[in-house]
Amino acid sequence: MTARTDKDEKQHQLLVAELVELFQAKGFTVSGADGVPGYHPPLELRNDGYGDQEDKSPDVYAYDATEGRYIIGEAKTGERDLESEHALTQYNVFLDQRHRQSGRQALLYIILPPTVVPEFNTLITHYIHPDYWESIVIVSSKQWKDPDAGSNPDEDART
């Protein structure tokens, strides 16, 4: 896995927090969220033979009691983290999860900066088996701020 820069890590954590807020708004019970105050990091999920063969921890783990299924959340900034071996293994491991009692496949929510969504849509059709597509929910971040964009002088003048 490629190490994140400090700037990328901060952006990643903002996406994780936004995903937790979304899950709460949808009525999901969040049981783990990586780096979000008040939550323990999610446990690793078993890898049954995908990619790098390593178990993977999602950024957010939740449960939808109405649908009887697990909800797995993953944040991607698009900075070399969309199609690395680690990321591709994550997608498969997370999509392979099923609720023991209901048998329902987990839903995988992936939150991305808006500019990265088209690239990710292409990636899904290339790397992910079509049987899994309906279990992927792509979330375009509403709070994303491009960390490489300069400050807006008009905005600075108003403050």
Judged on CB neighbours under 10 Å (0-12, 13-18, 19+), 94 is buried
pLDDT of residue 155: 38
pLDDT of residue 149: 57
CB 30 within 8 A of CB 20: yes
Our separate counts of H helices and E strands in the chain read 4, 5
Domain made up of 6-158: CATH architecture: 3-Layer(aba) Sandwich (3.40)
Tokens of 23: 């899950």
Q: Which residues pair with 69 in a beta bridge?
A: 64
pLDDT of residue 40: 96
pLDDT tens-digit profile, the chain (159 residues) = 455 677 778 999 999 999 999 999 999 999 999 999 999 999 999 999 999 999 999 999 999 999 999 999 999 998 788 989 999 999 999 999 998 888 899 999 999 999 999 999 999 899 998 999 999 999 999 998 876 654 443 333 333
Question: What pTM value is reported for the model?
Answer: 0.87
Q: What is the dihedral of CA 72, 23, 119, 55, to 10 degrees?
A: -20
Look at the block and give the residue holding tokens 């969220």. Answer: 33
pLDDT of residue 159: 33
pLDDT of residue 151: 42
